[in-house]
Structure 1
Amino acid sequence: MKLILYAVPFFFVLIAVELLADRWRAMHTYRLADTISSLSAGVLSTTTGLLTKGVGLITYALALKYLALLQLPEDSLWVWLFAFVFYDFCYYWHHRLGHERNVLWAAHSVHHQSEDYNLSTALRQTSTGFVLGWVFYLPMAVLGVPLPVFVTVATVNLLYQFWVHTRHVPKLGWFEWLFVTPSNHRAHHAQNALYMDRNYGGVFIVWDRLFGTFQEEDDAEPVIFGVTTPLQSWNPLWANWQFYGQLLADAQRTERWRDKLRIWFMPTGWRPADVAAKYPINKPDLSRFVKFEVPLARRQQVYIAAQFAVYLALGSYLLNLGETLSPQALMLGWGYMALGLFVLGAGLENRPWALKLEWLRLALNLPLVWLAPVAGLWPASALGWVGLSSYTLLSVMGLYVCRNRITRLAGC
């Protein structure tokens, strides 16, 4: 977790560098709403992880204690190297089944919903992967990989994957044969039939070459990013719920009890025959593919971007102090974060009810000043009152400016 915390500033520096390269090369790989949506999913995932990280750590520790066949030394270089490679092998199967089984895809699909591809896409992560993801790494515990080694190599594996989410780096020659690169990972994020369900490695692409899931990026087949059932939303909470909602709806609609249960574990896209016939899902024609977009006035965009910056700051605060905060404080911080990101997502979509939600969000700042010290989110002080009151007042002024500029206020 600390490595992730230290890496966050570098992530945003690199995103800024990519934005400059984007402008210089006129590639247009960034859109404001998509970027905020991806970063919102990342902030939500990170803050959710503060509440749920115990699931993976506790299960790993228990497996290490009761199921380990070996006790590998923590101070051995070969143990670290073995763990780094073996983790990526486990990650390959976790990632592969995350594309091949309905319930796992429901969690992982969040990372693939963006129809753009840039470094912000790397930070677009699921908030529900903790439910089943831990299962795939238990073999490391069985073989006796110490918990600190496991946590470190897992973090390094995740950090490596950041840089491959870019369109600005071409193919890299011999490096493509051994490692995951921007080129072969671009293919992984495609919804084109040629690239579907390929290139699952985290650091090493050799697993894909060994198990027949490798596909080189083909210049004759430009990548179309996104998922075949488009999200059509900028809201991070809906992004996390979309496919679960579809599975739940299909499970309720089917008449067969067997199908109600097995739909969750069937191959991705499988639906009960009676449901598929009565409620067909039409896939978009990629030859006429158009990215999801909602027209938004410039002042609305500025207002939402400024509000999102506040949530980035809050997310950084929670990440920095997460290990010292009480469960109540974390729950309060997460709840405020989730509500705010939901409201901003509604604003980006110009929902008719977004303005009312925004007023509600700002009104909740008043009880937050009282609740935060009680829960231990931050200490009681006059500074808290002044800071939150000033933020609320500035936000109200921003809404007033938008209201006098735009006839229809939906989303601002």
Structure 2
Amino acid sequence: MDYVLYAVPFFLLLIALELLADRWRGRSSYRLADAINSLSAGVLSTTSGLLTKGVGVLTYAFAWQHLAMFELSGQSLWVWLFAFVFYDLCYYWNHRFGHERNIFWAAHSVHHQSEEYNLSTALRQTSSGFLLGWLFYLPMAVAGMPPQVFLTVAALNLLYQFWVHTRHIPKLGWLEWLLITPSNHRVHHAQNPIYMDRNYGGVFILWDRLFGTFQEELDEHPVVFGVTTPLASWNPLWANLQFYVQLWRDAAQAASRWDRLRIWFMPTGWRPADVAARYPLAKPDLVGFVKFEVPLAPGRKVYAAAQFALYVAVGSGLLAVGETLALPYLLAAWAWMAFGLYAIGAWLENRPWAPAIEWLRLLSIPPVLWLAEHAGLFAAKPMTWSVLLGYILLSAIALWWMTGSAARFGRTTARG
């Protein structure tokens, strides 16, 4: 059972409730472009997961079949309870390495790039964590935890972490000593020096207290969210590539061959001395910290949200049928989704070439649906085509009007 698929409607409902709580309490923890960027990373991650899930599952199953020291039964309650706790311990070390070593941070940094902290941030997930993340869960396979037990407790661990991504819930008393809570997870998402690289647990804060990585949220140090090398983009593809590209550039520019190799495995932030001297990285000043923003007219924001809704729907549909699709169809679906999310990101960044990309994205929708129907992925009814074509037509009219208005405004400004 794909628990994440069934949880999607509840995620969206809770995000809507958090927006209402913002309004009721006079807060502003959401910005549209930031939320769409976070959710785009999540949609891209789940779509990529259809292609890459097998890496973790197959390696775990192989280790379980050939290396298991014990034969544990999935029918036993204690096995499930032990697996739930054991998984969180493995997650702690996976998460900790994700912050403390360059190659792991390159994957995990996606989750921390948002300069806001809300429930949409929880869905901001990496698309490349599959490359090395599976290594940390092999101890469970060696201990004899059946794959179905492993997959289920992994999903439950991930689902638990959703609710802690909020600023509306204060400290929770004695629970702060036992569980990951919104307060101690806010610390984890901070870029303040006092908070950085702390509170790694997924469900239990006990590991952080045991291994010396716990930090309490302090009133005298308000949390500043984000990363010390800002993403400064609404592009979910660049979000996944940013730190890999930085590591690659630093490795290519290093004079020492040894530095070119070890940079990937050194503590996060380490750079070859010669590269750091020639190409210093600017770090934001947390005093008066200014969040990344691109001015965009309200109508353009509404347009972006309406277009993004299509990708949430298609992404959810792919989660439902993904395991039945052949690899070529999965690759095509991923490419189309990635292109669409990239186009929306370019639109939110108000790139000069964004309208041309947007026209191309709109024109791609009917042939993609036609190919999906003829591939037998679903049976589109006449009403489906009517609604879709109406949606595209209205989008095209809005796009033509907005781009035409911008051009007319530019000519008027030039004459003035």
Asked if TM exceeds 0.5, the reply is yes
Would the aligned equivalents of 1:103 and 1:264 in 2 still touch at CA under 8 Å?
yes
Structure 1 gaps of 5+ residues are: none
2:60 alignment counterpart? 60
2:198 alignment counterpart? 198
Matched residue type, 2:399: L
Matched residue type, 1:43: V
Would the aligned equivalents of 1:52 and 1:130 in 2 still touch at CA under 8 Å?
yes
Shift of 1:366: 4.4
Would the aligned equivalents of 2:355 and 2:403 in 1 still touch at CA under 8 Å?
no
Shift of 1:37: 0.5
The 5 A counterparts of 1:8-407 are 8-379=8-379, 385-407=385-407
Residues 20-51 of structure 1 show CA distances to partners (whole Å, capped at 9, x for unaligned) of 00011111000100000000000000111111
2:413 alignment counterpart? none
State the alpha-carbon separation in 2 of the partners of residues 183 and 405 from structure 1: 46
Matched residue type, 2:107: A
State the alpha-carbon separation in 2 of the partners of residues 376 and 55 from structure 1: 27
Residues 264-304 of structure 1 show CA distances to partners (whole Å, capped at 9, x for unaligned) of 11100011111111111111111131000110001101111
Matched residue type, 2:276: A
Residues 132-168 of structure 1 show CA distances to partners (whole Å, capped at 9, x for unaligned) of 0000000000000011110110000000000000000
Shift of 1:255: 1.7
Shift of 1:403: 2.8
Residues 227-256 of structure 1 show CA distances to partners (whole Å, capped at 9, x for unaligned) of 000000011101000000100111111121
Shift of 1:386: 4.2
Would the aligned equivalents of 1:247 and 1:264 in 2 still touch at CA under 8 Å?
yes
Shift of 1:18: 0.5
State the alpha-carbon separation in 1 of the partners of residues 107 and 347 from structure 2: 25
SS of the residue corresponding to residue 126 of structure 2 reads: coil
Q: Label 1:117 to 1:408 Cα distance change in 2 as closer, same or farther (>3 A).
A: farther
Would the aligned equivalents of 2:201 and 2:207 in 1 still touch at CA under 8 Å?
yes
Would the aligned equivalents of 1:114 and 1:225 in 2 still touch at CA under 8 Å?
yes
Residues 367-396 of structure 1 show CA distances to partners (whole Å, capped at 9, x for unaligned) of 324432354443476566545433322211
State the alpha-carbon separation in 1 of the partners of residues 369 and 269 from structure 2: 46
Matched residue type, 1:339: F
State the alpha-carbon separation in 1 of the partners of residues 224 and 407 from structure 2: 36
Would the aligned equivalents of 1:112 and 1:226 in 2 still touch at CA under 8 Å?
yes
Would the aligned equivalents of 1:329 and 1:377 in 2 still touch at CA under 8 Å?
no
State the alpha-carbon separation in 2 of the partners of residues 369 and 19 from structure 1: 33
Shift of 1:81: 0.7
State the alpha-carbon separation in 1 of the partners of residues 102 and 375 from structure 2: 38
Matched residue type, 1:302: V
SS of the residue corresponding to residue 283 of structure 2 reads: coil
Q: Label 1:262 to 1:324 Cα distance change in 2 as closer, same or farther (>3 A).
A: same
Matched residue type, 1:77: L
Matched residue type, 2:165: H
State the alpha-carbon separation in 1 of the partners of residues 323 and 382 from structure 2: 25
Shift of 1:94: 0.2
Would the aligned equivalents of 2:39 and 2:123 in 1 still touch at CA under 8 Å?
yes
Shift of 1:402: 1.5
396-405 or 27-36, which deviates more: 396-405
2:414 alignment counterpart? none
State the alpha-carbon separation in 1 of the partners of residues 112 and 349 from structure 2: 19
State the alpha-carbon separation in 2 of the partners of residues 376 and 257 from structure 1: 52
Shift of 1:409: 9.2
Matched residue type, 2:121: T
State the alpha-carbon separation in 1 of the partners of residues 388 and 208 from structure 2: 51
Matched residue type, 1:268: T
Shift of 1:365: 2.7
- Percent identical pairs in the alignment equals 68
RMSD: 1.6
Shift of 1:6: 1.1
Would the aligned equivalents of 1:325 and 1:376 in 2 still touch at CA under 8 Å?
no
Matched residue type, 1:389: L
Q: Label 1:408 to 1:8 Cα distance change in 2 as closer, same or farther (>3 A).
A: farther
Shift of 1:323: 1.8
Residues 85-120 of structure 1 show CA distances to partners (whole Å, capped at 9, x for unaligned) of 000000000000000000100000000000000000
Would the aligned equivalents of 1:330 and 1:377 in 2 still touch at CA under 8 Å?
no
Residues 157-216 of structure 1 show CA distances to partners (whole Å, capped at 9, x for unaligned) of 000000000000000000000100000000000000000000000000000000000000
Would the aligned equivalents of 1:328 and 1:375 in 2 still touch at CA under 8 Å?
no
